[in-house]
Amino acid sequence: MDRLAGQVAVVTGASGGIGRAIALALARAGADVVVHYASSRADAEAVTGAITGLGRRAVTARADVSRAADVAALLEQARGAFGRVDAWINNAGADILTGEAASWSEEAKWDRVMAVDLKGTWLCSRAIAAAMAPQPGGGVIVNLSWDHVGQGLGNPTAAIYAAAKGGVAAMSRCLAREFAPRVRVNVVAPGWIQTKWLAGADLRTHETVIAATPLGRWGTPEDVAAAVAFLVSPAAAFVTGETLLVGGGAVMG
């Protein structure tokens, strides 16, 4: 069923993982999609190709969401391609767990996560809300947080993510009030999801997470995407300022 037929969505950080799953889920629901990336152009173009293969329109767009000028250019590219934006998904996040960034100093990790995950969400939300408010039907913003911000997790990296993602959750509630009634703002907070980090996790970590999760498995990017697609859809038309945990019950709100 094309719940989002005729709508246009921007998904930041859509070149892989959760962002890719969100972009594809929205396309399957009928939306045309702007596939944003920061550095993985080939991966983003592959997602764009998959979306066009579903019969939807899609464009690939690069931006550093921590820079206001880049965010403005991303918005203009989206509007230039499709005329409007109905849904904006702030999924882009800094990876400090894998690759070169894993060896950065704690301060460098903090600065990057705050710039992308928190400031980037703020910049994008304010820019798109101003564009959505005057258009027929307004629009919807979905921000990505983390289910453990309300419970905590005892390691240095978790403290960085909790500070940023907790900020996203708190800020989103403020934005939901500020942007109402023209723009709805909600949050999806994933838990333990099968992303690139999981590939490097040891067997003990896998088993520990499953044991701590009432539903008895790791989540998938598609689990998160389904929650986002619901919040974007008309089925959630009277929902704003809410946080939907997608973690199999490991953390309960």
Residue 161: active-site member:
yes
In three-state secondary structure terms, 233 is coil
Give, as one character, the DSSP assignment of residue 121. Answer: H
Give all domains of the chain, ordered by start, each with its CATH number: 8-246 (3.40.50.720)
Sign of the alpha-carbon torsion through 15, 19, 24, 29:
negative
Percent of the chain with pLDDT over 70: 99
Q: What pLDDT was estimated at residue 195?
A: 86
**Catalytic residue (choose from 161, 179, 192, 218):** 161
Q: Which amino acid makes up residue 16?
A: G
User: Contact at 8 Å (CB) between 206 and 194?
Assistant: no
Specify the residue for token string 């859809």: 233
Q: Tens digits of per-residue pLDDT, 113-151?
A: 999 999 999 999 999 999 999 999 999 999 999 999 999
Given a cut of 80, is residue 200 above it in pLDDT?
no
Quick check: 187 and 144 in contact, CB under 8 A?
Answer: yes
Check residue 177 and give its pLDDT. Answer: 98
pTM (2 decimals)?
0.96
pLDDT at 197 over 80: no
Q: Work out the pLDDT band at 1, boundaries 50, 70, 90.
A: low
